[in-house]
Amino acid sequence: MTTVAVILAAGQGTRMRSDLPKVLHPLAGRPMIRHVLEAVRAAGVDRIVAVVGHQAERVAGAVDEDVRCVLQESQQGTGHALLCAEDEASGFERVLVVPGDVPLLTAGTLSALLRHQAERQAAAVLLTAVVDDPAGYGRVVRDAAGRVERIVEEADAGPAERGIREVNAAVAVFAGPALWPALRRVTADNRQGEYYLWDVLPVLQAGGHAVDAVPAGDVDEAMGVNDRVALARAEAVLRRRIGEHWMRRGVTLVDPATSYIGADVEIGPDTVIEPLTVLAGRTRIGAGCRIGPGAQLYDSEVGDGSIVGPSVIEDSRLGRGVRVGPFNHLRPGTILEDGARVGNFAELKNTRVGTGSKVPHHSYLGDATLGRDVNIGAGTVTVNYDGRAKHPTRVEDGAFIGCNVNLIAPVTVGRRGYVAAGSTVNRDVPPESLAIARSRQENKEGWVRRRFRRDGDAPPGR
| 262 contacts: CB under 8 Å, gap ≥ 6 | 28, 29, 30, 242, 279, 280, 281, 283
Beta strands of 295-346 (E only): which ranges?
296-298, 301-302, 307-308, 312-314, 317-318, 323-324, 329-330, 335-336, 341-344
DSSP state of 16: G
**Ranges of H-type helices in 127-193:** 159-162, 176-183
Nearest to 322 by CA among 353, 364, 367, 280: 353
The type of residue at 219 is V
The H or E element spanning position 84 is: helix 78-84
DSSP state of 332: T
**Residue 361 appears among annotated catalytic residues:** yes
Nearest to 146 by CA among 62, 212, 58, 243: 212
DSSP state of 219: G
Count CB neighbours of 195 within 10 A.
22
d(CA 29, CA 68): 24
d(CA 394, CA 407): 10
- Hey, is 321 helix, strand or coil? coil
Whether the link from the prior residue into 103 is cis, omega within 30° of 0, is: no
d(CA 39, CA 221): 11
**3-class secondary structure for 224-289?**
CCCCHHHHHHHHHHHHHHHHHHHHHCCCEECCHHHCEECCCCEECCCCEECCCCEEECCCEECCCC
CB 330 within 8 A of CB 316: yes
**Ranges of H-type helices in 8-75:** 32-43, 56-60
Our CA angle for 204, 210, 211, nearest 5°, is 80
Which residue of the set 35, 80, 361, 362 is catalytic?
361
Say what angle helices 32-43 and 107-120 make with each other, to 10 degrees. Answer: 40
Q: What is the torsional sign of CA 156, 161, 162, 164?
A: negative
Catalytic residues: 361
